[in-house]
Amino acid sequence: MPLVKNGHIATDVFFHAADGTELPGDGAVLVSAARFLEDPEALLKRGKVGVIWPNNRDLDDLVPYLERLALVALVFPSFRDGRAYTQARLLRERHGFEGELRATGQVLRDQFVFMLRAGFDAFDVRKQADADAFGEAARRYTVFYQPTGDGHLSALHRRNQLRHSESAKP
């Protein structure tokens, strides 16, 4: 499954350590929420850590560790299940998470724009063709009606700016 990070196909530096398996000697690891919460301090001490956070679990248990986490992976068990969009926005916009925010699960081309707007910057893309088309899909829209934390101005705010720039003209 190709990983797209910051708009480009990238190599995954995180070793995905399944529950009950041994951790590698060193290097970045990605673990489940359950495994992480068993002994977060020990994991965080050994280096870069990423956590796969389920979409039906409250973020409260994760928030205390956000500053020290390199990666949070949120889950789309099906592309129909949109709970992780809310989690992503809360992590970015409310809790100030600045690490990698990765979309995993059923991640398809037609969700990229929504995911980018919600704050994801990395994508475990299901199909190679979708990963190849990432740039095109991400640039499809230039107008957005809602303010989110992705930096795009909403149409309402752009109109407001236009108004001010027009009224400033001599």
Binding footprint of another protein, residue count (CB under 8 A): 34
Among residues 10, 38, 45, 94, which is the contact residue for another protein, using CB under 8 A? 94
30 versus 88: smaller Cβ distance to another protein: 88
Among residues 24, 27, 47, 82, which is the contact residue for another protein, using CB under 8 A? 82
Write the Ramachandran bin of 5: left for phi over 0, alpha for psi from -120 to 50, otherwise beta: beta
Query: 144, 117 in Cβ contact below 8 A?
Result: yes
Among residues 21, 86, 128, 161, which is the contact residue for another protein, using CB under 8 A? 86
For 155, other C-beta atoms within 10 Å of its C-beta total 13
Binding residues vs another protein (CB under 8 A)? 79-83, 85-86, 89, 94, 108, 110, 113-115, 117-118, 129, 140-148, 154-160, 163
